[in-house]
């Protein structure tokens, strides 16, 4: 059964959303999509500027391995600099098959 991770956050005040969304695409293409077990990722933004990222992984171990390296990876540094760390909320779920 696959694993679904969610992350909600806002941007550092003054961050341009267009610039951030370009960074987000770069993180997905240059880091996330290249990790073992990566299945899919989607990003949404609310009217008040909160982002919701949903990532699908083949296994919880794949998710853990990727996240262990995420904060130190060169490909993620500009993305992380734009995220207001105080607003980050995450969750993990096992996908329910129908």
Task: Give the chain's count of helices (H) and strands (E).
Answer: 3, 4
At 66 the three-state DSSP class reads helix
Each residue of 32-81: pLDDT tens digit? 999 999 999 999 999 999 999 999 999 999 999 999 999 999 999 999 99
Cβ contact 58:39 at 8 Å: yes
pLDDT for the residue numbered 98: 64
Q: How far apart are the first and last CA of the chain?
A: 11
| Residue 95 banded pLDDT, cuts 50, 70, 90 | confident
Cβ contact 36:62 at 8 Å: yes
Total residue count of the chain as it appears in this document: 98
Rounded to the nearest 10°, the torsion over CA 98, 59, 63, 73 is -130
pLDDT for the residue numbered 6: 98
pLDDT for the residue numbered 97: 75
């Amino acid at each position: 059964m696959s694993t679904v991770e969610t992350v909600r956050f806002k941007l550092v005040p003054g961050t341009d959303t267009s610039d951030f969304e370009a960074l987000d695409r770069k993180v997905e293409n240059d880091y996330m999509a290249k990790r073992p077990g990566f299945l899919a990722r989607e990003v949404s933004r609310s009217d008040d500027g909160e982002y919701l990222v949903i990532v699908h992984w083949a296994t919880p171990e794949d998710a853990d391995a990727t996240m262990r390296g995420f904060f130190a990876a060169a490909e993620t540094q500009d993305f992380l600099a734009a995220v207001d760390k105080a607003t980050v909320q995450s969750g993990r779920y096992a996908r329910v098959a129908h």
